Amino acid sequence: MDDDARGPVARRAADELAGLVGVVEALLAERGGCEWNRAQTPESLVPYLVEESFELVEAIEVGSAADRREELGDVLYQVVLHAALAAREDQAAFDLADVVRDVAEKAVRRHPHVFGGETADDLGDVVRLWSEAKRVEKSSRRSAYDGIAVGLPALARAAKIDDRRAAAGHLPVGDALASRAADGELAWGRSVLAAMDAAMDAAGPEGIDAERAVRRAVRERETALRATENGTTG
């Protein structure tokens, strides 16, 4: 797409992104750069990426527009930094342009009703087309449970696994596992999963976001504890 075909928002975003890329390049420069940034690896940056991602989630759920803007910027900085480090690897694994192109192409593939010849009359059709496009992309997967991020929070990962189980038509295995001997910690974990299974069943066909639900409950508890601490409870 040439510059004339882009709207003013896209042109401005491209200019600002180029500025951020320049900042990161300066930080990674051998001369005059930042020693801390040059010392980083994708692995060493993982804790910061996780932290920034959760700060963005918090900003979305309970923060202001200014909070969301700031935290989106922090996550974007992580993306640009990771891509810049990859470009500096011995074989130049990829760079930011590759990342941007790949995700744009994926978005186009998964929305054939917008960019292709398919039609979608309702949200159900949109989900069906998206799911079919993703199935084709991931055709090399051998299990219904492949591709679920190991680094997800435990509750979110459990919910994702159960979603895949239901979609694949597999029966629950909780009761069978419960009959096996377990240490105290594993037994406690099983009891939490069992409680989650019951809660998800009680939620009905619409379901809930398990991780978000618990985050809300934790925030509620924290607020109540802070109020008690400050002597402001009624």
Which domains are delineated in the chain? 3-91 (1.10.287.1080), 149-229 (no CATH)
Residues of the chain with pLDDT under 50: none
Report residue 39 as tokens.
Answer: 């010392």
**What per-residue confidence (pLDDT) applies to 72?**
98
* C-alpha–C-alpha distance, residues 85 and 79, integer Å: 10
Burial of 82 (C-beta count, 10 Å sphere; 0-12/13-18/19+) = buried
**What per-residue confidence (pLDDT) applies to 5?**
61
* C-alpha–C-alpha distance, residues 16 and 10, integer Å: 10
DSSP string, 106-169: HHHHT-HHHHSS---SSHHHHHHHHHHHHHHHTTT--STTTT--TTS-HHHHHHHHHHHHHHHT
